[in-house]
A and B are shown apart, each in its own frame.
Chain A
Amino acid sequence: MGNEGVFNGYAPNGFFDEMFEDNGAPRAHYAQVLERLEALGRKEFERRRTLSDLSFRNQGITFTVYGDTEGTERTFPFDPVPRIIPAQEWAHLEKGLTQRVLALNAFLRDVYGKGEILNDGVVPRELVLSASHFCREVHGVNLPHGLYTHVVGSDLIRDEHGTYMVLEDNLRTPSGVSYLLANRVAMTRTLPSLFKDQGVRPVQHYTTVLLEVLRSLAPRDVEEPTIVVLTPGMYNSAYFEHAFLAQQMGVELVEGRDLFVTEGKVWMRTTSGREQVDVIYRRVDDDYLDPLAFNPNSSLGVPGLLEAYRSGRVALANAIGAGVADDKAIYAYVPKMIEYYLSERPILPNVPTLLGWDKEGLAEMLSNPEKLVIKAVGEAGGYGMLVGTASNKKEITEFMKKVEANPRNYIGQPTIALSRHPTYYPDTGTFEPCHVDLRPYILVGKKITIVPGGLTRVALKRGSLVVNSSQGGGSKDTWVLEETQSGQSQSQSQSQSQNTGGDD
């Protein structure tokens, strides 16, 4: 880089940087992109960035922040410097994630069936039976292909050595894939020249594969099964995504009131009469799906839906009750599930986790809260958590009172120095390092498909470790490169994946 360089003054500073080595030299798989950004110059880059921003706003690509008094809809800040993952590194992640979702589905089949893993004492029965998302109403129900989670979003992070770890699994209604797809479109429009000769693997087949998976669940043997996307409505934080996916798949976007149950079947009201529904891609939580079986105050659901589902006349993706396996206390046992069901060693390690349920874990949490990240087990979206290093005494004391009152409901994890990635800050006009994570989207049907990459989320608040969009995060386009890369980048990523694979 010359003195005029776009990345002048940028330093990894002891964190693992996705783009630069510790000595400041760019990593091989970023070399060309870096060169082209340098050639573009700061001014032109800023101009293009402003255009992409405008395009997001004009397209209405937004999310909703709960509990915010100043208007609830926001655009999701997009940073047009791509995060790049070399082929070998991705192959390792793909293998690890595939292994993980196979084990998670086996676990769900088991706990809603014979419960062998509980009888064998590998996963504590108490944890499962006390999990708020363990759903007794679907015990013993037979599901198409025996699958419980068809769309999975597992969050991956890298520590200061660059080792990939799974932070959590989202098995209920993971969101964010629409941003992944929108980011790629924005990226190709904003900075098309960056893609040249890079062999960036495509992601746009996501909705086609999702539709295939949903279709494969259809209980009726008909040529064109009716598939719908069920949304809680326009006030939900991911409403844009629900509409987007329905439109991309060419299926109806419906709310609970558009559906009804008679004769044990689910029907959709249409302008030309009723139409039988075969598969529901539901983005409504279990509790709100059927007011008869679950929360009687829910107006989002469809009365009688559970019985239609139980008798196999309609399929739901994801299945009811899948949330028991993404309870953050049960998450701690996923490596054991992999060994138990697959007789394999876990490829991707978990983040070390203390359980409030366990006496020693609770004692450790209570004595060192300022060093830990403490989370409620059933929450998502960065709600209900304490980042000890970034909280004051009062906040910690308040939070730990809740932990003491209900220890089962909390876990503690060490504060991981998440890897960082250069991110453009319009206020200073420079690139600054921001912590990032990666949420790949895993589609599980007769076979498992993971669109290359995932959603890279960026903690835009300076120094923050929380990447959730609801907590002020942004995102990046994520590139996975084709196998045919320069020899240098291949050998480097190979050693990377060996490091990662051996560490657990």
Chain B
Amino acid sequence: MGLMLAIRKRFGFILKLFFKKDKMRIGIYGPPNAGKTTLANRILRDWTGDVIGSPSDVPHETRRAKLREGVKIEVDGKSLTIDIVDTPGLATKIDFHEFLKYGMDEEEAKRRAKEATEGVIEAIKWLDDLDGVLLVMDATEDPFTQVNVTIVGNMEARNLPLLIVANKIDLPNASPARIKSAFPQHPVVPISALKGINIDSLYKAMAERFG
């Protein structure tokens, strides 16, 4: 079983050249508060008229991965059908004191922190069942976080397509260029998921990368 997984990881990208899947399962990954759920909602609203979850300013609002199957995207005559997995924010530390700042009592903050740790584990487990990743980064933040480095490294090790989404470009101190220079080997699409800025470029890039 382990050998088969290792072979799939190493040579999977060659097989994909010959056997295209009808449907790609795409995970939306990133650190907490990067705008993953906002992006998932934007994609679903544009192509299905639906939403997947409620975004929030409180970190770790999404603590369970959410799957939406069969989202059909059509760009320039190209059609792409994807399953979208909105994953909980990845982190290397979770301190319940952070949640106290948002008006929660200690018990609620600790419960949320515990759920957040479970969410991180779930997000990592999902990496084994995906065909591609949209890695969402907050363009106003330093892109060289361990979470970003780990996700990029894992996608490269699995030879799976990765598209970096430089989100929040509507904010004055956003710098998609900083993300591009941090990860020059991967395509970066600057967008604002909240305002819908440059979202058509993202769909085009998705069709090219995952189609």
A, B: real partners: no
* B residues apposed to A, CB below 8 Å: none
* A residues apposed to B, CB below 8 Å: none
